Amino acid sequence: MKVAVIGTGHVGLITSATMAYLGHDVIGNDLDEEKIVTLQRGQAPFFEPGLTELLEETLGSGKLRFSFDSQEAIRDADVVFICVGTPPKASGEANLIAVESAAKDVARYASGRVVVVEKSTVPAGTSARVRRTLERERPDFIDKFSVVSNPEFLREGSGIRDSLEPDRILVGAESPEAFEVMRAIYAPLVEKGAKLVETNIETAELSKHACNAFLAMKISYMNALARMCERSGGDVDSVAEVMGSDERIGRSFLNAGLGYGGYCFPKDLQAFERLASRLGYDFGLLKEVERINDEAVDATADKIIDVLWNLDGKRVTLLGLSFKPDTDDVRFAPALALGRKLQAEGATVVGYDPQAMANAKSEMPELEVASDPYTAAAGSHCLVLCTEWAEFKTLDLDRLKQAMAYPLVVDGRNMFEPEEMEKRGFSYYPTGRSPIV
């Protein structure tokens, strides 16, 4: 099928490449001209494992092209995926201006029947607005448009695998014809066993928010438990093991730490809560989840202040700046929220990340960055493990300790082994577990 993808960010680019890999003829479009030029050269504008190779393969096969010209992308498309950003407004509601703008482009440039697919995460009810936009902009063409919700569940860091081996593909549509088109689009994955779930549009839109809010809730639940463990002498990791061995609960996402971040959970949770409120339902649980998440960063900052006393003139090293491992994305990264708090208290904050240093520096110009963990730790009074990159597991702890002014580690992801830290002579402050002082 002929596919246009509007927005070639984390979701749109991976969608473009995987759709081309599945055999469709794809044109990726973005209003960021520089991004399109980069992509045309075969370079990925952000770090995602396997993406460069997939781009090389699909650009090479001629199945994938990129164009700055939305008319060229949309004109002959059977299916248009809208993958633009839906950032939060100051109120927490999703800002859907880019979705409206993409819908207008589709209305303007479509030349035949086209299925318009919302892949961006949007509040329930958005499809009706997209349909109204299409109707207003192109009243003569309205029977040619079908609107579909096909929320994206990929996770940055494993986005390609998640797209090619999804837990489920969710399609909400308004007509049998639109379902047919979406079945054809995903046929290569369904033939390999992927589960296709078909619902009405509102259910699909709601399900995406429901999943992200629920996952965020699991994290916040564990962070609230971490606070309880710290006050009572319990061990949150052991509690997680006990909880996780109950198959009704499951072990994944039961990790206490600095909390969630990134471009999905924080904004989606807020948007979901605001949607509930707009629908006349007080979903107070979601506000608590957000509060506990903010508290996770505050609690870590308080721990550092408690141990170091005055931060003025002290140096704190952050290991890991991206919001999670295997991505260079620092949007709403807890590490940066923590860094800002420590700086506000007077600390000099220096960071190291295997991939996200440039992005972190542009988000937080006053952050010092170092080319490796040991240089980052040099002269440091406290090292904070913020993001659990695999390479931090194999750090030379003796070398790290030697480099530091005080041998003090705050573990925001419970990545290090307490016994090992004790053996190496660190004062070690994990999250929700007993410190080694």
Ligand X SMILES: NC(=O)c1ccc[n+]([C@@H]2O[C@H](COP(=O)([O-])OP(=O)(O)OC[C@H]3O[C@@H](n4cnc5c(N)ncnc54)[C@H](O)[C@@H]3O)[C@@H](O)[C@H]2O)c1
Torsion sign across C-alpha atoms 6, 24, 48, 56:
negative
Tokens of 246: 């109950």
Closest distance of CB 46 from ligand X, Å: 7
Closest distance of CB 401 from ligand X, Å: 36
Q: Are 218 and 253 in contact (CB under 8 A)?
A: yes
Closest distance of CB 176 from ligand X, Å: 27
Which residues form the interface with ligand X (CB under 6 A)? 6-12, 29-32, 35, 83-86, 98, 101-102, 120-121, 152, 154, 156, 263-264
- Pick 40 or 101: Cβ nearer ligand X: 101
Closest distance of CB 114 from ligand X, Å: 16
Closest distance of CB 71 from ligand X, Å: 12
Closest distance of CB 330 from ligand X, Å: 12
- Pick 101 or 434: Cβ nearer ligand X: 101
Closest distance of CB 403 from ligand X, Å: 34
Catalytic residue among 229, 264, 382, 386: 264
3-state secondary structure the chain: CEEEEECCCHHHHHHHHHHHHCCCEEEEECCCHHHHHHHHCCCCCCCCCCHHHHHHHHHHCCCEEEECCHHHHHHCCCEEEECCCCCECCCCCECCHHHHHHHHHHHHHCCCCEEEEECCCCCCCHHHHHHHHHHHHCHHHHHHEEEEECCCCCCCCCHHHHHHCCCCEEEEECCHHHHHHHHHHHHHHHHCCCCEEEECHHHHHHHHHHHHHHHHHHHHHHHHHHHHHHHHCCCHHHHHHHHHCCCCCCCCCCCCCCCCCCCCHHHHHHHHHHHHHHCCCCCHHHHHHHHHHHHHHHHHHHHHHHHHCCCCCCEEEEECCCCCCCCCCCCCCHHHHHHHHHHHCCCEEEEECCCCHHHHHHHCCCCEECCCHHHHHCCCCEEEECCCCHHHHHCCHHHHHHHCCCCEEEECCCCCCHHHHHHCCCEEECCCCCCEC
- Pick 65 or 315: Cβ nearer ligand X: 65
- Pick 332 or 429: Cβ nearer ligand X: 332
- Pick 4 or 222: Cβ nearer ligand X: 4
Give the number of other Cβ atoms within 10 Å of residue 63's Cβ: 19
Q: Can 386 be counted among the known catalytic residues? A: no
- Pick 7 or 407: Cβ nearer ligand X: 7
- Pick 144 or 155: Cβ nearer ligand X: 155
Closest distance of CB 84 from ligand X, Å: 4
Burial of 55 (0-12, 13-18, 19+ CB in 10 A): buried
Give the number of other Cβ atoms within 10 Å of residue 143's Cβ: 7
- Pick 197 or 405: Cβ nearer ligand X: 197
What angle do the packed helices 201-232 and 265-278 form, to 10 degrees?
A: 120
Q: Are 14 and 159 in contact (CB under 8 A)?
A: yes
**Catalytic amino acids?**
264
